[in-house]
């Protein structure tokens, strides 16, 4: 009985820690993600927008500035 509870508890703790680790890993990957102009254009078209060169440059600049703005850690 006790070993079953320990096994279930260990499983739950492992699942929770694994999920938190996965979220952390994906956030780090998304922050460092770079997209080419063709990929941005394809994403915009999939959302029903057709960007001209000026709009494409603005979107690319915003994405780069968002990637460069690292969140500060609180003490």
Q: What is the DSSP string of the chain?
A: -HHHHHHHHHHHHHHHHHHHHHHHHHHHHHHT----HHHHHHHHHHTT----HHHHHHHHHHHHHHHH-PPPPP-
* pTM of structure: 0.47
Identify whether the C-beta of residue 55 lies closer than 8 Å to the C-beta of residue 41: no
The string of pLDDT tens digits covering residues 3-53 is: 999 999 999 999 999 999 999 988 888 777 777 888 888 888 898 988 899
What are the extents of the domains in the chain? 1-33, 34-68
């Amino acid at each position: 009985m006790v070993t079953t509870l320990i096994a279930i508890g260990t499983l739950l703790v492992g699942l929770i820690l694994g999920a938190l680790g996965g979220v952390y890993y994906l956030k780090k990957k998304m922050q460092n993600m770079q997209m080419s102009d063709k990929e941005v254009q394809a994403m915009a078209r999939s959302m029903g927008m057709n960007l001209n060169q000026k709009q494409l440059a603005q979107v690319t600049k915003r994405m780069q500035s968002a990637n460069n703005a690292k969140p500060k850690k609180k003490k």
